[in-house]
Structures are given as structure tokens and as C-alpha cells.
């Protein structure tokens, strides 16, 4: 099939270069526009702890596969490490710095343990570590709520 080829008749040629320049500028602004503060970093860590908890629960109930769970827990561990490294404690209110640090460590330990247990394919050992991940997620959520209230 060949498209019907009709003579090009440009209308208003003057504003086309301006529109192109505007578009390029908007794209650059969009590319520069990703930022995350300490509250969002704590939320992300909490979310990955909650994801690890749900992954472990689904695995215990035979609702997912070992391969998916092992990979997701490794990703959860990496994401928590990444966020924990990026988090600057001095940007948190002083009264939550200690509890936040404790909850992040607890989340990291629980996800680590879940990853190890999953690599070993030990379904029976998942429950206590899943509960720890859940507790860490809840602790982090409370801290985020405290920050929001301020």
C-alpha cells in the first residue's frame, strides 16, 4: 500500500522552530525532576519490608514460586540497602533518628534472613522472619506518620 502523496503546503511555518525549542526544554526539565526526601526514603524502606512480608506469606501458602520469591527478596534487600545509604539522618527530626535507625536495621535483618531461608527452600522457617519484617514495616510507618504530623 502506498500513501496518497499530496503536495506539502505548510501552514504557519514561523512557530514550528519555537515549538520544537519549547519541547526540548520541557523534556530536559522533566529529566531533571526526580527527587526524594528522607520521609519518602523511609516510606520506600517500609514498603519493601512489607513486600518481603507479603512475599514470604504467599510462599508459605504455596501461592508463588521459590524462584520469584528468592529474586524479589534479593531486590528488596538491595533496595533497602540503597535507600538506607542515601538517607541522611541529620535531615530527620532529632526525636525519630534513633527509632528510624533501629527500624531500618530490623527491616534489613528480617529481609536478609528471609532471603537466606528462601535460598535454602526452608518453607517452615519463613514465619518468624516474615513477622519481623512486618513489625519493622509498621515501626517505619509510625515514624513516617510522626514526621507528617510535625
Partner 1 sequence: MKKILEIALGMVTGIGGFLEAGSIATSAQAGADFGFQLVWAVALGTLALIILLEMSGRLALVSHRTLADAMRERFGIKFFVIPLLVGLALSWMVLAAEIGGVAFALQMATGITFQWWALPVAFVGWMLLWKGTFGMIEKGTAFLGLAALAIGDAALRLHPDWTQVGAALLPTRPAHDAAHYWFLAVSIIGAAISPYLYYFYSAGAVEEQWDLSYLGMNRIIAALGNAFGGVLAVAVLVVAALVFQPRGIHVDRFEPIALLLTHPLGLWGFILMVATLGINCFSATVEIALSMAYLLAQTFGWKWAEDAKPGEHARFSLVYTAVIFLAAVPIALGVDALKLTNISMALTAASLPVTVLPLFVLMNDRVYLHKHKNGWAGNLALGAVAVLSIVLLVVGIPLQFMGGGG
Interface residues toward partner 1, by CB under 8 A: 1-6, 8-13, 16, 19-20, 23, 26-27, 29-37, 40, 43-44, 46-48, 50-51, 53-55, 58, 61-68, 70-72, 75-76, 79, 137-138, 141, 148
Kindly give, in sequence order, each residue whose CB lies less than 8 Å from that of residue 129, ignoring residues fewer than 6 positions away. Answer: 56, 110, 113, 114, 117
Using the minimum distance from each CB to partner 1, give the nearer residue, 48 or 113. 48
Q: How far apart are CA 54 and CA 59, in angstroms?
A: 8
What's the closest the beta carbon of residue 74 comes to partner 1, in angstroms?
Answer: 9
> Cα dist. 132→43, 95, 109, 117 in Å?
17, 23, 9, 14
Between 10 and 124, name the residue whose CB sits nearer to partner 1: 10
Amino acid at each position: 500500500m502506498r500513501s496518497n502523496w499530496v503536495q506539502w503546503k505548510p501552514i504557519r511555518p514561523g512557530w514550528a522552530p519555537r515549538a520544537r525549542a519549547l519541547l526540548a526544554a520541557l523534556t530536559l526539565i522533566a529529566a531533571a525532576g526526580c527527587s526524594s526526601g528522607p520521609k519518602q526514603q523511609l516510606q520506600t524502606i517500609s514498603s519493601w519490608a512489607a513486600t518481603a512480608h507479603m512475599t514470604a506469606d504467599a510462599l508459605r501458602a504455596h501461592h508463588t514460586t521459590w524462584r520469584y520469591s528468592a529474586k524479589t527478596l534479593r531486590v528488596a534487600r538491595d533496595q533497602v540497602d540503597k535507600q538506607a545509604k542515601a538517607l541522611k539522618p541529620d535531615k530527620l527530626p532529632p526525636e525519630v533518628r534513633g527509632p528510624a535507625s533501629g527500624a531500618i536495621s530490623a527491616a534489613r535483618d528480617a529481609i536478609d534472613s528471609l532471603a537466606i531461608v528462601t535460598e535454602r527452600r526452608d518453607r517452615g522457617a519463613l514465619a518468624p522472619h516474615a513477622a519481623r519484617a512486618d513489625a519493622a514495616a509498621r515501626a517505619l510507618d509510625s515514624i513516617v506518620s510522626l514526621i507528617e504530623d510535625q
